[in-house]
Amino acid sequence: MGGGPESPKLEGKKHDLLLCVLPWPEPKESLKKIQRQYPKLEIKYIHVPHANRGWKPAEGVPGELYKRANILATLSILPPSASEAPNLSLVHIFSAGINNIVNHPIYTDSKIPLTTSSGIHGPQIAEWVIMTTLIQSHKYNDTYEGQKRHDWGNYGAGKGVRDMVGQRVGVLGYGSIGRQVARVANALGMDVIAYTASPRSTPDSKKDKGFIVPGTGDPDGTIPSAWYSGLDKESLHGFLQQEIDLLVISVPLTKQTTHLLSTPEFDLLARSNPNLTYVANISRGAIINQEALVSALYAKKLRGAALDVTDPEPLPPDSSLWSAPNVLITPHISGNSVNYVERAFQVLEENLKRREEGKDLVNEVDRKRGY
């Protein structure tokens, strides 16, 4: 196994290099802040085209920079191997998920610490979840079509609205995004139940130990009225049969979570809730068996689905998912925010500080778990 050197103190060396290879214009204020904290740190910023999903080779990045870099900040562009970046001691990924790099040699054949930007997406994605749920429950699309026709008499669009007070949201994957969904849903009067891979039976285990945007989320894990956990289907089914009105999918994509939800799960949701379940997926498309989802929508086993992710992406024009009933599809944009890059650099800042202090990194990837 290859790997980088032990983390040095940044202020103690003159030639430490932070290499940023990112698809956004240079965020000068964020870089100035880091430079003020670490005046001896050399910072190189390379603006690259926005890549599609999946890691990309180091096109446009001089090999000499990879050889000198101690810290790499990137979305998906990586050096071909750890041996071509011998001084690399930290890779910070500007996304929450890392499923797109799990086959890269730096992931599989090195011990270089990897950290993610998990925690920065909660505010905007929670808003997307609530927005799309309200669009469905308030039949907004029908109203909007009436507006385009200049038709005031579309009264039917306002009938049958069921407000969210007393409804139950099941958060499948109670990370930073799920916790912010819980916070907003709780404010709307909803009951929240949470599902995690491992048990959270103590107050400390329920705390969020990742990066938290101030004033958001559920830092102490006190919002859910009940917690469920497990890696087996029986445990998952115990959670799904709790008469869930809104199921929010926010688990990472791993071999274990691929097609985690399919026909048996949709059947169970239908049997357990006479009002039917609305599914919101903001994680990865492959967590859902897409053909099974389309069948469930046509069979009216679900109230509908809001999907910011699909399988594959981009979704082909001839996919049957486009015309499935009561489905709302957006092109993997729920995490977009003008604050995105600034917050991702805040996570990096926190980890630079922790390296200096010899503390555990925030959002460090566990290679064995796959996230």
Query: Which stretches of the chain are DSSP H helices?
Result: 28-37, 63-68, 105-108, 122-137, 140-148, 176-187, 233-240, 263-272, 290-298, 340-357
Q: What is the pTM of this model?
A: 0.89
The answer to whether residues 41 and 32 touch, using CB atoms and an 8 Å cutoff, is no
- Is 363 within the bounds of a domain? no
Which CATH number characterizes residue 110's domain? 3.40.50.720
**Contact residues for 202 (Cβ-Cβ < 8 A; gap 6+):** none
Residues 276 and 158 reside in one and the same domain:
yes
The secondary structure of 81-92 as a DSSP string is -GGGSTT--EEE
Residue 247 belongs to what domain range?
122-329
Asked if 22 and 64 sit in the same domain, the reply is yes
Per-residue pLDDT 10s for the chain (371 aa) are 444 445 555 554 456 999 999 999 999 999 999 999 999 999 999 998 876 444 455 567 899 999 999 999 999 899 999 999 999 999 999 999 888 899 999 999 999 999 999 999 999 999 999 999 999 999 999 888 888 989 887 666 678 899 999 999 999 999 999 999 999 999 999 999 999 999 999 999 999 999 999 999 999 999 999 999 999 999 999 999 999 999 999 999 999 999 999 999 999 999 999 999 999 999 999 999 999 999 999 999 999 999 999 999 999 999 999 999 999 999 999 999 999 999 999 999 999 999 999 999 999 999 988 88
Q: Does residue 371 belong to any structural domain of this protein?
A: no
Q: Within this chain, do residues 184 and 312 fall inside the same structural domain, yes or no?
A: yes
- Scan for tokens 């809730």, then name that residue: 273
Same domain, yes or no: 261 and 351: no
Helix (H, G, I), strand (E, B) or coil at 194: strand
Residue 365 belongs to some domain of the structure: no
* The token pair that represents 42 in the structure block: 């050399």
219 in the same domain as 272: yes
Query: Do 249 and 288 meet the contact criterion of CB atoms below 8 Å apart?
Result: yes
* Axis-axis angle for helices 176-187, 122-137 (nearest 10): 50
Task: Tell me, yes or no, whether 369 lies in a domain.
Answer: no
- Domains identified in the chain, total number: 2
